[in-house]
Amino acid sequence: EAQVTQNPRYLITVTGKKLTVTCSQNMNHEYMSWYRQDPGLGLRQIYYSMNVEVTDKGDVPEGYKVSRKEKRNFPLILESPSPNQTSLYFCASGRPGRGSSDTQYFGPGTRLTVL
Amino acid sequence: AQKITQTQPGMFVQEKEAVTLDCTYDTSDPSYGLFWYKQPSSGEMIFLIYQGSYDQQNATEGRYSLNFQKARKSANLVISASQLGDSAMYFCAMSPLPNRDDKIIFGKGTRLHILP
């Protein structure tokens, strides 16, 4: 079964405490990406990766880091979280129009609150 | 810069009727892809349909079709024979095609309500 796994699903943390949101896919997709969703702003892409060791900035990369050391995993790292990073985060795998992937799967989302 | 506009913040449609959700875009890229996504009230994001700007025919996927009018820069989503389960937020998105900057940008969404 095609699956994108995100952990944790919910996280409340404090300003400045480093955190990592993990994302893993089992479809051998080359393309993976991270988004944040905020009320009134829709979804905005944070980072994307077109393959192992290839990552690039999306629209709102400030305050975030990613890594792609292996194909299945694409963690999102907040080195020093701030309250304006309180949001709903989605990881996605696959990208129609690129390579062999004709669809895109999303993880269940991570609701992050930074106090 | 690329831009996606969804002008309908909300729509109410009677069950079994067809629905058209509007999406217009602006880009200077010669090739690009257009996407539609669904987000039910439960919160998950679901990819629905994709159209490449070079595709000769409009994309279809079950009850979903993408009415792509390149000259008008529109990529409307058509849902045939709407069902109660179609009530959700719908997002249009676009991206330049591969081998270039591969960002995906989204519109702000349209909330669709299907009435019984």
- What sign has the CA pseudo-torsion A87, A92, A95, A99? positive
Q: Is B99 exposed, middle or buried (0-12, 13-18, 19+ CB in 10 A)?
A: exposed
**Torsion from C-alpha of B2, B7, B12, B16, nearest 10 degrees:** -50
Is residue B47's pLDDT more than 60? Answer: yes
Q: Is B22 exposed, middle or buried (0-12, 13-18, 19+ CB in 10 A)?
A: middle
Neighboring chain B residues of A109 at a CB cutoff of 8 Å: 43-45
| pLDDT (tens place) for every residue of chain A, 115 residues total | 889 999 999 999 999 999 999 999 999 999 999 999 998 888 999 999 989 999 999 999 999 999 999 999 999 999 999 999 999 999 999 988 776 567 899 999 999 999 9
Residues 64-103 of A with CB under 8 A from B: 88, 90, 92, 95-99, 102-103
Neighboring chain A residues of B93 at a CB cutoff of 8 Å: 43
Q: How far is A30 from chain B (nearest CA, A)?
A: 12
Structure confidence at residue A100 (pLDDT)? 58
Is residue B98's pLDDT more than 60? Answer: no
How many helices (H) and strands (E) are present in chain A, helices listed first?
A: 0, 11
Rounded distance between C-alpha atoms, residue A81 and residue A85, angstroms: 7
By Cβ distance, the residue of B52, B91, B103 closest to A59 is: B103
Structure confidence at residue B95 (pLDDT)? 87
Interchain contact B108–A (C-beta under 8 A)? yes
pLDDT range class, residue B11, cuts 50, 70, 90: very high
B77: amino acid identity, one letter:
L
Interchain contact A39–B (C-beta under 8 A)? no
Residues 86-105 of B with CB under 8 A from A: 91, 93, 95, 97-98, 101-105
Structure confidence at residue B97 (pLDDT)? 72
